[in-house]
Structure 1
């Protein structure tokens, strides 16, 4: 990368000619020719275009930079002489694999040519006329505009064709994961559910009677979409499972994903083959599920295809949401802004979020009443992943931690065969439908963080970053359709987990992934949430009771000031066990009800995930404001308590941090640039409160009216 320094590159290019451009921006020598993209191991440059203009979003060509536009087998990258300087903002999330002006090829959703009329380009299209510019829309709502006004015609055409060809591959081996050859040393700390031991350990952790681990699918003879290890009813022989699998779509027989000591279980299954009218095999398998329950209770079967969106419906909803979040001009933004709520309502995105939360709550209630719940859906790979995961978050505190949440995605999404490659559009295959079920799930989880600020360890920044990482084709986590496809991929590739966050981010950015208000145990009352047991945070320091009590008092008052929107949902009434002599059942019921969290699924109580959807529209950002300021004050509070903690042991004088010193952070932090480099010290201070939990940036943003 060039070390040439330049002045401010934000200039107006509306009414200048080529000679003016050379004099103003490049001087005597065209620095584009000495700029080169930063390449990763295995990354190759495919095409380059010099003297390209990149415009800032929603500036209508009034502000931009000049530089080199390049396409590699991994990304589209724009390089200017001041790129190195622009990456020095300590408050801006910096990815070690992608620069600020880089776009992973798999993140590109649509490409338009700019000129008299905006036209969409498709793969394989022949370009006859001169390309004046490009407008690229990404799957994570990012947009970039390029002008080729001063670029040689042949370079502009070549760069356009290269982007079209490499952004929409038709073969899986064209993904960069097959080319990336950087040495990899796994550091992740979550269960991957890629072997029998992980499934066995999960069954032991949950202590659910009546179920066993089976290797009947070890050769993937039963199902190509299910993992090699399955948890099935203990009273069913493998030979019976093989026979039944032929009647289910994708061979997805009823399998266990969660349960408790009381004996109730959460089970997933697909529908019967559409060519079969006889449902005898389905009824027989459901009878086996019923028999696995200690009290032989009839399971509650939830057909998810009745009310929840199909892949096509979800994709259409996503398209409307994306159009709302990616205007190409100030005029379009103004039109959309004037009718934002009606456009959002017509997309039905919030409706789908509401439906998922409602059905997950229904499933959680049934589990808490002691009944087994069976989730059923088409192939058993799409919306069932959303409902199953949400249900487990509502009933199991383990999945509300970062490690538990990552294990949950590995189990219910990766291992159980959610077709990430198809649904995220990594490879273009005929008759496949893109549908961002993962984004729908993350939005639902985000709604929980807004209603219950102390319930989840995952921060808003973590959830947004996870959605961005789903489009990075370096990691294997989200690029395969099944465990079978991952294991049989040719040529073999190094399996890099996205949960190794150190591969992408430094400690400062990773520290923002955890919620500083996270409380492992708490009581949910009507319209309120308060900490219950802060000693469970395992703070191995002196005077822990005094500090915990102080923290509980302070966080309790803060929660009253937080903009929570919790519906008036009464606490659940413990059901009466059939046999009161079974103490183990009573204890399991009490523990489950204690762990259960309740949220409102009503539309009036849902918010728009502004950080994820609007962060690439600077016009919506609040300078030195927004709900992110609440998060900063929470961090300062935790940091002060941690500092006071240390001084109690040393006898030193405690000096509280002043929260007014950090008011320069903007509302889309850390996805926009701010002016305060001291924030890194604040993050480090609050991080050391707990060794097992990093700090969080819950950027709670208001949606525009």
Structure 2
């Protein structure tokens, strides 16, 4: 009970009488705050927490921030704001594992989760998966199951495919075996192999090499072209060094650093060499494609372990040749076949364990994704998946609960997964694959993985007469018969076309073109392809001119607010294109309804993609959508004083602008 004392009479001194204790007053006026807990995954445990924690904003010299609680679990470090913002709750594209205020524990240590999910992607971890792929591509090879218990080699997959004529598998512990990657409709095929042990004598080395090449030739009755990628492409150390220089231009702490780097930003990116390495890999893949598509020649790629650049080039060549790998499930199956089952050392290349010795660290898989992104930019309707999907996939490499990118080989993964964990309740550990996207995103967010401009393959009417084609030929835009160039004009030294003559000549062909610039034959191959009608479900070749290679802005610039364009960028372009696509669909529907004579053919005419998902008004979104949204705050660009004063000098302003332009080179 509260009282004001003298019944409301005037008093020179205010009085206050309380009949409750101070503790009771505090409980009545300040109700207890609701405890904050993170949304934990199955098996995730909170180790410790701290409150209150102030998180500062990114603004330069700002003392503003938000209060919340910091939690440390066995999976991540997460910061939960005391009052959830409306902007965060209204997002359509949200990662259910990691938010804006989450840090993967991979940055500190590693963790293994116990989760069981289902997937639809072909994992190539069973004989049936390989048999299905061989049947799809009409491959004439044999499936190897002798390494099921890794008795043959711990650096080879449990199951793989080799030429039928190859019998001696246990020589050199599985080294140097020509492993099948893909078969062309003409009958030739793409192979990859590791180097033979350097301790062997020259005679034994040459003998085994001849056996390997002869097995490929006998199997496919075509000549064999070999390429040592370690001689024509950069090493993994060069790739790591170039990427270290490249990523420094995106690690910006404040606005001042941004404006200092902005003056020579493009020329600095070019000088890192990262974009040039992307160009070299695409060029090498085009050379492989020309051998398979134009010359009807088997290609054998070799390097040290056969699990780095061999994976890059073979994967790119298959994407250019086979439209199946441009679909979402096909691309994921390709990554499983060439990278995961192909024993790419993800743990060493990504340095998941943060070893001080970084000799084996190199972003080889990211280099492959960069090349795929270039293809999507140049041939967007040919790909079912979007650049947002590639961006999310590049992030998921460092998520430590997925088995896909966590181990160095199939043996490495199986040895750890079968080992009993002292923290597990029972049995062995089980990790989901990254392809189960429902672990990270709901179905609404996964819609952003699909390309709304993707052109599905046209299903022709059965009554339509089809031109005669070989039984095993797939629909390609560049038939092998379209090119009959004279000999000695390709990328390789002159090689015999006859199998008998090739076996008599004991030598291996080499690439002739420089990795830095396309040869005349490569340019001729590309120009001839350009002259044909474009077929998004046929052969695709990239343009390798300087301006054609662009910067993956969505991935590298999404966390830099200074470069975000409100209502602009690729989001605005995509929104307009989808609006036009919807209008075209409506007009097409009206015309079909008016033309009653074509009513019976509606199901057999080319169908455009269904009306794509709507992003809403592009004017309210930033150029880094869906990763960042429009902010309800405005900021003024902070230009360094020295640079600002130099720009305000009017006497020599024209000359200074010319100097700035000279220092900038287009990407």
TM-score exceeds 0.5: yes
Query: Which 10-residue stretch deviates more, 476-485 or 427-436?
Result: 427-436
SS in 2 for 1:595: coil
Provide, for residues 425-446 of structure 1, a one-character-per-residue CA deviation record: whole Å limited to 9, x for no partner: 2223464522111111111101
Structure 1 CA distance for aligned equivalents of residues 240 and 30 of structure 2 = 48
| Pairing 1:624-635 to 2, within 5 Å after superposition | 624-635=567-578
Residue 79 (structure 1) aligns with: 80
Tell me whether 1:615 sits opposite 2:542 in the alignment.
no
Flag the 1:449–1:638 CA change in 2: closer, same or farther, 3 A. same
- Structure 2 residue aligned with 1:508, among 423, 436, 444? 444
| Pairing 1:266-281 to 2, within 5 Å after superposition | 266-278=190-202, 279-280=205-206, 281=208
Structure 1 CA distance for aligned equivalents of residues 196 and 130 of structure 2 = 26
Tell me whether 1:384 sits opposite 2:315 in the alignment.
no
Tell me whether 1:185 sits opposite 2:129 in the alignment.
no
Residue 261 (structure 2) aligns with: 336
Contact preservation (8 Å) 1:321, 1:349:
yes
Larger RCO, structures 1/2 (Cα 8 Å, 6+ apart):
2
Query: Which 10-residue stretch deviates more, 307-316 or 319-328?
Result: 307-316
Structure 2 CA distance for aligned equivalents of residues 656 and 288 of structure 1 = 49
Residue 151 (structure 1) aligns with: none
TM-fit CA distance, 1:64: 2.6
Structure 2 CA distance for aligned equivalents of residues 410 and 660 of structure 1 = 35
Structure 2 CA distance for aligned equivalents of residues 216 and 61 of structure 1 = 64
- Structure 2 residue aligned with 1:220, among 147, 150, 158? 150
Flag the 1:356–1:234 CA change in 2: closer, same or farther, 3 A. same
Residue 135 (structure 1) aligns with: none
| Pairing 1:79-98 to 2, within 5 Å after superposition | 79-83=80-84, 85-91=86-92, 93-98=93-98
Contact preservation (8 Å) 1:360, 1:388:
yes
Structure 2 CA distance for aligned equivalents of residues 502 and 660 of structure 1 = 24
Residue 647 (structure 2) aligns with: none
Structure 2 CA distance for aligned equivalents of residues 89 and 513 of structure 1 = 19
Unaligned runs of 5+ in 2: 1-28, 421-427, 465-477, 486-496, 499-528, 595-610, 633-664
Structure 2 CA distance for aligned equivalents of residues 306 and 630 of structure 1 = 42
SS in 2 for 1:385: helix
Residue 308 (structure 1) aligns with: 233
Tell me whether 1:605 sits opposite 2:540 in the alignment.
no
Structure 2 CA distance for aligned equivalents of residues 468 and 104 of structure 1 = 11
Provide, for residues 330-381 of structure 1, a one-character-per-residue CA deviation record: whole Å limited to 9, x for no partner: 2222222111123212321101110110001111111112101111111111
Structure 2 CA distance for aligned equivalents of residues 216 and 69 of structure 1 = 51
Contact preservation (8 Å) 1:57, 1:617:
no
- Report the TM-score when normalising by structure 1: 0.67
Instruction: Say what the alpha-carbon RMSD is for the aligned residues.
Output: 3.6
Provide, for residues 120-151 of structure 1, a one-character-per-residue CA deviation record: whole Å limited to 9, x for no partner: xxxxxxxxxxxxxxxxxxxxxxxxxxxxxxxx
- Report the TM-score when normalising by structure 2: 0.71
Structure 2 CA distance for aligned equivalents of residues 620 and 33 of structure 1 = 38
Tell me whether 1:406 sits opposite 2:349 in the alignment.
no
TM-fit CA distance, 1:49: 3.1
Contact preservation (8 Å) 1:420, 1:479:
yes
SS in 2 for 1:87: helix
Structure 2 CA distance for aligned equivalents of residues 572 and 337 of structure 1 = 48
Flag the 1:65–1:273 CA change in 2: closer, same or farther, 3 A. same
- Structure 2 residue aligned with 1:436, among 353, 359, 363? 363
Contact preservation (8 Å) 1:303, 1:375:
yes
Flag the 1:571–1:66 CA change in 2: closer, same or farther, 3 A. farther
- Structure 1 residue aligned with 2:136, among 194, 198, 205? 205
Residue 667 (structure 1) aligns with: 623
TM-fit CA distance, 1:639: 4.7
- Structure 2 residue aligned with 1:241, among 142, 147, 169? 169
Structure 2 CA distance for aligned equivalents of residues 645 and 74 of structure 1 = 52
Structure 2 CA distance for aligned equivalents of residues 207 and 418 of structure 1 = 26
Contact preservation (8 Å) 2:343, 2:409:
yes
Q: Which has the larger radius of gyration?
A: 2
Flag the 1:663–1:229 CA change in 2: closer, same or farther, 3 A. same
SS in 2 for 1:375: strand
Tell me whether 1:473 sits opposite 2:400 in the alignment.
yes
Residue 99 (structure 1) aligns with: 99
